[in-house]
Amino acid sequence: MSKEKIQKTELQERLQMITSGNHGRKAAIIFDGDVLIQNKPFKRLNYDPVNKGNDFVIELEEYTHTIDAPSDFYLSKDENGVLTAIEVIDNGGKSCSLEFL
């Protein structure tokens, strides 16, 4: 498994690619070690930069989770290069992950 940090300057483009390439995949959202929701179809990711709200939104079917003041973004892929998770760290150091099932 590999983990890659995404720079904020390339985030919008990468999120569009992730959303279009993974729409409908079953996923889970884990926040600070707790499973918030699981086994729901993935809808989309959205990031509003600091000058437009400074939040990161993960949407699954019937559930939306917002991370305020995100600071770091990571993609995890399996040995075949398939996306397995997106991790967002907020300014307080808490982690939120979208994990594809």
Mean pLDDT computed over every residue of the chain: 96
Q: Which domain holds residue 80?
A: 2-100
pLDDT of residue 1: 85
pLDDT of residue 99: 98
Q: Structural domain tally of the chain?
A: 1
Distance (Å) of CA 18 to CA 65, 88, 93, 94, 96 = 17, 14, 24, 22, 17
Who wins on pLDDT, 1 or 13? 13
pLDDT surpassing 90 at residue 77: yes
Q: How confident is the model at residue 91 (pLDDT cuts 50, 70, 90)?
A: very high
pLDDT surpassing 90 at residue 50: no
β-pair partners for 67: 56
State the average pLDDT over residues 16-33: 97
